[in-house]
Structure 1
Amino acid sequence: MFRLFDLSLQINGFPMKEAKAELRKIVAFSEKEHEVFVENKKVEIVDFHLQNNPFYKDLVGITTFTNWEDLPVLNKKNLQKPLLERLSEGYSAKNSYVNKTSGSSGTPFIFAKDKYCHALTWASNIFRFGWYGIDFNTSYQARFYGIPMDFIGNKKERLKDFLSHRFRFSIFDLSDEVLEGFLNHFRTKKFDYINGYTSSIVLFAKFLQKRNIVLTTICPTLKVCMVTSEMLFEEDKLLFEKQFGIPIVNEYGTSELDLIAFQNKAGEWQVNSETLFVEILDENNKAVPNGTSGRIVITSLFNKAHPFIRYDIGDIGILDEKSTLQKPILKKLIGRTNDVAILPSGKKSPGLTFYYVTKSIIEDDGNVKEFVIKQTKIDTFEIEYVGETELNLAQIEKIEKAITLYLENDLVFIFHKKEKLERNKSGKLKQFVSFVK
C-alpha cells in the first residue's frame, strides 16, 4: 500500500521508521524498565542542554545537576526572546522543525524541535489514533480547524491537507448557510473521522440537532470524532454522541510539546509517558499527591534543539489516584492559570466556573449558540453571546441568581448580543478572559 503521509514526513527529513521503532520499544517496557528509561532520559536531556544550550545553562546557573527538584520551572515568558538565542549548539531553523504556538494562553512564542523529536511526536499521534482504527495514510479526516488567509500560507496548508488525507472545513464563518455546505460534503465524501476544535464542532452538532439529522445516516463511513484545544463539557459530549452517532475522543496537547493526554478505549484520559514526563506542582514547585490539583509542568524527554524542561504550560490539572509512572491518568483539566477571576471579596474562581453556570442555564432553550465571558473590572463581567434572539429579563435574572449562588453577591453583568464571536488567528475561542490585573 502506498503510504503518502509517512512518505511526506520522511521526505521532509523526519525519520519516521526509527521513531516508530523507538516508540514500539518504549511501549513494550515493563513497569520497572519504564521507570529506568524515564530517569535516564531526564538526566540525559538536562545534561545535554547544560552542555550545549547557553540559554538553558544561563537559566539554571550550573553545568551539572544532582537534584531534579532544584531545576527551575520554565514558563512562556522565559521563552519570549528570539529563537536563535534559545537553540542548542548545532541546531538552526534550517535543520529543525520550527513553528509558533497559537497564543490561546495569551503568550505566543516561536519554538523548535529537532527532527527526530518531531518524528516521535508523529509516531505518538499515529499510535494513539490507531487505538480507534484510524490510519493517517488511509483514513479520511473531516478537519474543523482554522487556516491561514494569506495566499502562500493557505496553499501550503491545503497541500499539507492533501498529503495528510484530510478535508478542511474553515471555521472562521460558521453561519447556517456555511454549515449547510459542510453537511453537503458529508453527504458526498467518505469521511472516516472528525478532528478539530471543540467549539466549532459544537456549533455543527447544534446545527444537526436543529435539522434533526444524525450524521452517520448520511455519512455511514464515520467511525470516531476527536476533539482538541478547547474544553469538552459533558453535555457537549452527549450532544456529539447523539448527533454524530459515533464515539467521541478527547485529546489534550500543545503544539510545542506533543499529545499530552488522549482518551483511551476505557474512557480514561491517558497521559503520554513515552515522550513526556508530566508533573503536577504546587505554587512552591513541589509535586502534589495524585488526586490534588496543581500546575501541569512538562519535560520533553527527546527535544535536543530546544529545552522544554520542567515547562509550566499554564494549565491546572489533577492526576488520578490510580496513576502510575508508566500509565498516568489525567483525572481533570481545570483550566489555565491565567483564567482566574479575582472577585471583590478576594475570592479566586477559575473562569470555568462562570462558563459552567451560564452554559447550563443559557442552553435550556437552544437560543444561544456560543458565548464568551470577559471580566472588565473586579466586579463587572461582560457576556458576549451569539443567539437568534436577545436574552430576556427572566433568563438574565436566572443567570445572575446562579452566579450569586456559586460566587458572591453584588457582581455586575452586562450582556451583548453579537453576530459572531472573535476567535484568535488559529480559530480557537477563548471562553473566559480577565482584564483585571
Structure 2
Amino acid sequence: MISIFDISLKLNGFPIKKAKAELNEIVNLSQEEYAVFLENKKEEIVDFHLQNNSFYANLVGNKTDLKWEDLPILNKQNLQKPLEERLSKGYSRKNIYVNKTSGSSGTPFVFAKDKYCHALTWTSIFMRFGWYKIDFNHSYQARFYGIPMDFIGYKKERFKDFLTHRFRFPVFDLSDEILEQFLQKFKTKKFDYINGYTSSIVLFAKYLEQKNILLNEICPTLKACFVTSEMLFQSDKKLLEKQFGIPIINEYGASELDLIAFENPNGEWQINAETLFVEILDENNKVLPYGEEGQIVITSLFNKAHPFIRYEIGDIGILDEKSTPQKPILKKLIGRTNDIAILPSGKKSPGLTFYYVTKSIVEDDGNVKEFIIKQTQLDRFEIEYVSDKALDNGQIQKIEKAISLYLESNLNFSFTRKTVLERSKSGKLKQFKSYL
C-alpha cells in the first residue's frame, strides 16, 4: 500500500523525511547529550524570536542579561491580535501552517507553525502511535470527532478522511439510533483503532454495555483506542477497557503546540520532551518542584514562525516526582484554570470536584448517560443531564449530601433532564462552566 499520509504531507511542503531523521536523533541522545540539546534549543529559539519577531521582542522589552526565568509568560490574551503582527521575519501565510485553536478554554485564536515545526509535530505523533503498532499510512481509524456543517467544509473534511485512511463518526448527535448506526459500521469495517473525544467514546461504550456487546468481538481487527481533548476518569477508563477489550490510551495535546503527553505502554503519561519544554509554575510564575500542583507552561522548541515561549496553556497539572528532564511524566492533569468554582465561603474548587461527586453516585445503575454542571451564582448550580429516567429524590439527596461533604453546605442545586446536551462547535462537551 502506498504511504498516502506521508505523500500528502510532502506535497503540502512539510519536510517529513528530515523531521523523522531529527526526531530519531533526539530520542537516542544520552542523558548528558539531552541536557545540552535542551539548553541549546531554549537559547536558540529565544534568540531567534528576539531578533526576528517584533511582537515577542516588544513583550520581552529591553532587558539585558536575560535569564530563562525572567522571560515573560505568554498567554492567550497576548495572542489575540492579528496573526500578521505576530509572525517572524521571512514568514507569511504563503510558507506556514495556519490553524485556529478550538476555544475550549473560552479564548480561541489563530496560530501559525513553520512547515518544519509542523512536520516534527506529525513525526512525534507517528512515533507515539507506533508504540501501539499503529501506522498512519496503513492503519484504519474510527474517528469520533466534530465535522464542519457547511457544505464545502464538510466535503473537504470527508475528502481529508479518505486520504488519511479514517472513517468519521460525527459526535453532535449521540442518540441511541445514531449509536446503533455506529455499531453497524464496526460490524462491517475493519478498523485498526479508535481516536477521538473522550465523552463521545464513553457514551458509545455505555451503549454497548446496555446491549451487552463487546466491541472487539464484532470488530476483531481493533488494536487500541486513543482518547483526547477531555478528561478521562478512572471509572470511564475501566468501562472502555471492559466494553472494547483493547488498550485505552490517554493523550493530552494542544493544536497550537503538539502532543503534550501520551500514555506509554507502561501506563505512564509521558511528556513530549523532544519538541516541547514543559514547566509547572506557581501563581508568582516561579518554577515548582516535581510533585507540586501549578500552571502548565510550555515552550515550543522548534516553532520559528510564531513564538510559543513559556506559554501558559490554561491547564493545571502536576509532574511526577520520578520525572527527569529527558522523560518528564505527567502525574495528574487537574483541568482548566477557568473551570474553577468560587464558593460562598471564598473556597475555590476545580469544577471537576463536582463532576467526581455527582459521577460517583449517578454511575451506579448506568441510568444517567452524561451531564454538565453550570455555576450561575455563588451558591447556585444547575445540573443538566441525559438519562433513561429522571433522577428520584433519593438520588438527588445523595448528591447534595456528597457535595456538602466534599465542598461545603448550603449550596443550591437544580436538576434538569435533557434529551441532548449542548456541545461546542467542535463537538467537545464542556463539563463544568462558571457564569460568574
| Structural mapping, 1:173-184, within 5 Å | 173-184=173-184
Give the Cα separation in 2 of the matches to 1:177 and 1:354.
30
Give the Cα separation in 2 of the matches to 1:400 and 1:63.
54
**Contact 1:314 1:337 (8 Å CA) reproduced:** yes
Query: Quick one: percent identity of the two aligned structures?
Result: 76
C-alpha deviations, 1:50-75, integer Å up to 9, x for none?
A: 00111111111037653000000011
Question: What is the match of residue 113 of structure 1?
Answer: 113
* 1:89 lines up with 2:53 in the alignment: no
Question: What is the match of residue 360 of structure 1?
Answer: 360
Question: What is the match of residue 242 of structure 1?
Answer: 242
**How far 1:5 sits from its partner (Å)?**
0.5
Q: Aligned letter for 2:107?
A: T
* 1:124 lines up with 2:92 in the alignment: no
**Contact 1:47 1:64 (8 Å CA) reproduced:** no
**Contact 1:13 1:115 (8 Å CA) reproduced:** yes
| Structural mapping, 1:199-214, within 5 Å | 199-214=199-214
Question: What is the match of residue 222 of structure 1?
Answer: 222
Question: What is the match of residue 376 of structure 2?
Answer: 376
* 1:33 lines up with 2:33 in the alignment: yes
Matched positions, count: 436
| Structural mapping, 1:389-428, within 5 Å | 389-428=389-428
Q: Aligned letter for 1:216?
A: N
Three-state SS of the structure 2 residue aligned to 1:134 is: coil
Question: What is the match of residue 68 of structure 1?
Answer: 68
Give the Cα separation in 1 of the matches to 2:142 and 2:109.
28
* 1:254 lines up with 2:254 in the alignment: yes
Three-state SS of the structure 1 residue aligned to 2:403 is: helix
Q: Aligned letter for 1:34?
A: Y
**Contact 1:382 1:415 (8 Å CA) reproduced:** yes
Three-state SS of the structure 1 residue aligned to 2:178 is: helix
Question: What is the match of residue 102 of structure 1?
Answer: 102
**How far 1:178 sits from its partner (Å)?**
0.5
Give the Cα separation in 2 of the matches to 1:425 and 1:65.
45
Question: What is the match of residue 306 of structure 2?
Answer: 306
TM-score (norm 1): 0.99
Q: Aligned letter for 1:346?
A: G
**How far 1:205 sits from its partner (Å)?**
0.1
C-alpha deviations, 1:76-134, integer Å up to 9, x for none?
A: 01101111111111111221000000000101000000000000000000000000000
Q: Aligned letter for 2:106?
A: G
Give the Cα separation in 1 of the matches to 2:278 and 2:188.
43
Structure 1, unpaired ranges of 5+: none
Give the Cα separation in 1 of the matches to 2:64 and 2:180.
60
C-alpha deviations, 1:8-67, integer Å up to 9, x for none?
A: 000001110000100000000001111100100001000111001111111110376530
**Contact 1:113 1:306 (8 Å CA) reproduced:** yes
Q: Aligned letter for 1:193?
A: Y
Question: What is the match of residue 265 of structure 1?
Answer: 265
Give the Cα separation in 2 of the matches to 1:141 and 1:62.
50
Give the Cα separation in 2 of the matches to 1:253 and 1:144.
16
Give the Cα separation in 2 of the matches to 1:146 and 1:420.
16
Q: Aligned letter for 1:268?
A: E
Give the Cα separation in 2 of the matches to 1:144 and 1:287.
37
**Contact 1:275 1:302 (8 Å CA) reproduced:** yes
Give the Cα separation in 2 of the matches to 1:156 and 1:70.
44
**Contact 1:57 1:63 (8 Å CA) reproduced:** no
**How far 1:420 sits from its partner (Å)?**
0.7
TM-score (norm 2): 0.99
Three-state SS of the structure 2 residue aligned to 1:251 is: strand
Give the Cα separation in 2 of the matches to 1:65 and 1:432.
43
Q: RMSD across aligned C-alpha pairs, in angstroms?
A: 0.8
Give the Cα separation in 2 of the matches to 1:153 and 1:47.
39
